[in-house]
Amino acid sequence: MIYLKLCMVFFSILFASCSAVHKVKVTNELNKNDTLLNHLSYLSSDQLQGRKFGTIGSTLAQDYIIKQLKELNVQPLNSSYLAPFTINGFFKDTVANNIVAFIKGSEFPDQYILLSAHYDHLGKKGSKVFNGADDNASGTSALLYFGKLLKQKPLRYSVILLFTDAEEANLKGAKAFVTNQADLLSSIKLNVNVDMIAGSKSTKYLRYISRGLPQLLNSADIEAFAEVDEDSILKQGFRQQNRRENKNINWNLASDHGVFFKLNIPFIYYGVGTHNNYHQTSDTFENINHEFFSQATNIIYQQLRFIDQKL
Ligand SMILES: [Zn+2]
C-alpha cells in the first residue's frame, strides 16, 4: 500500500513538472523574446512608412513577413503566400495583398483555426509617419511568433495564418479572403483575431470578446478558458467609448473578426482597446508596453492551446 502511494506521489510530481516545463519554457522564451520585439521594431520602423496598402512600405512589410515564414518553414496555404486583391479607388485602382500561410494539424487536418492580424496601417500624412507599432505591428509580430511555436508543436486542428492588408480601409483584406476562399469557410471552426496587443506605457489589461464559443465548448470549459491567465492581465469586454472621438464602438465589427462574425463563424478578438496613441504618430516602438506585449502574446498562445484541446 505504502509502495502504491509512493508511486502515485512520484507520478503526480512527474506529470505536474511536464506541463509546467512546457508552460515555463514558453514564458521564458517569450520573456527573453528578442524575436517578438525585433519583429515589432522592424515592422513599425520609419523605413516601412506606416505600411499603408499599395505603398513601398507595405511591400517591405510583405517581404519581411514572407521571409520569416520561409525561415520557419511555414508553407503558404495556396501556391503563393501572397493573395492579391484590387481596391477600387476614385482615381485609380490599387492592388493590395493578404499573406496566407498554413500549419497542418495533428488530428484534424481538414478543419481550421484561423489566426488573423492586419499588417497594414495608415501610412504617412505629409512628412508624418504613422508607425502603427501597437496597431497592428504587435498582432502581426505575435502571429509570426505563433507560427514559430506551432511549427514546433502543431495543434490538433490545422491553422491558417492570415495577415490581412487594407484592414484600415473598412476590413477590405478580410472581405477579400472570405470571397476568394469561400470553399474553406465551412471548415473554419474558429477565428482568433489579434489587433493591438502591445498598448501604450499605461496599458494594464489585455481585453477580449468572443462570439459563438458555446457552439464549440461546454460551459465549464468556457469558464476554464477565461482562467488561463497566469499574469492576471486578461479582461473580458472592451470599454464602449472611444473617448478621443467621443463615439461608441461596436467591438464585434471593430477589426477583421467582424467579417467572420457576419458569417456566423465563431471568433475571439484580442486587443487593448483605444488609448492615447491610437491612430496617432505617437504609436511608436518606444511608446508601447514591451513587457505587457510579451505577457499578452503568451496568454493568447496559452488560450489557443487550451481551446485546441477542448474543441
Ligand atoms: Zn488595427
CB 118 within 8 A of CB 136: yes
For residue 222, the SS3 value is helix
**Distance from the alpha carbon of residue 11 to the mean position of ligand 1, in angstroms:** 46
Would residue 3 count as lying in a domain? Answer: no
In what helix (H) or strand (E) does residue 117 lie, and over which residues does it extend? strand 108-118
CATH of the domain at 92: 3.40.630.10
Model confidence at 102: pLDDT above 90:
yes
**Distance from the alpha carbon of residue 254 to the mean position of ligand 1, in angstroms:** 8
How many domains does one find in the chain? Answer: 1
Cell digits for 204?
494594464
Would residue 57 count as lying in a domain? Answer: yes
Q: How far is residue 194's CA from residue 14's CA, in Å, rounded to a whole number? A: 35
At 26-84, the pLDDT tens digits run 444 444 457 899 999 999 999 999 999 999 999 999 999 999 999 999 999 999 999 99
Would residue 11 count as lying in a domain? Answer: no
Q: What are phi and psi of 218, to 5 degrees?
A: -80, 165
**Distance from the alpha carbon of residue 285 to the mean position of ligand 1, in angstroms:** 15
At 110-164, the pLDDT tens digits run 999 999 999 999 999 999 999 999 999 999 999 999 999 999 999 999 999 999 9
CA-closest candidate to residue 66, choices 82, 87, 83: 82
**Distance from the alpha carbon of residue 284 to the mean position of ligand 1, in angstroms:** 14
Would residue 21 count as lying in a domain? Answer: no
Would residue 14 count as lying in a domain? Answer: no
Q: How far is residue 225's CA from residue 309's CA, in Å, rounded to a whole number? A: 11
Would residue 97 count as lying in a domain? Answer: yes
The domain in which residue 75 lies consists of 33-310
Would residue 262 count as lying in a domain? Answer: yes
**Distance from the alpha carbon of residue 34 to the mean position of ligand 1, in angstroms:** 23
CA distances from 35 to 48, 142, 210, 253 (A): 18, 10, 28, 31
**Distance from the alpha carbon of residue 301 to the mean position of ligand 1, in angstroms:** 19
**Distance from the alpha carbon of residue 166 to the mean position of ligand 1, in angstroms:** 10
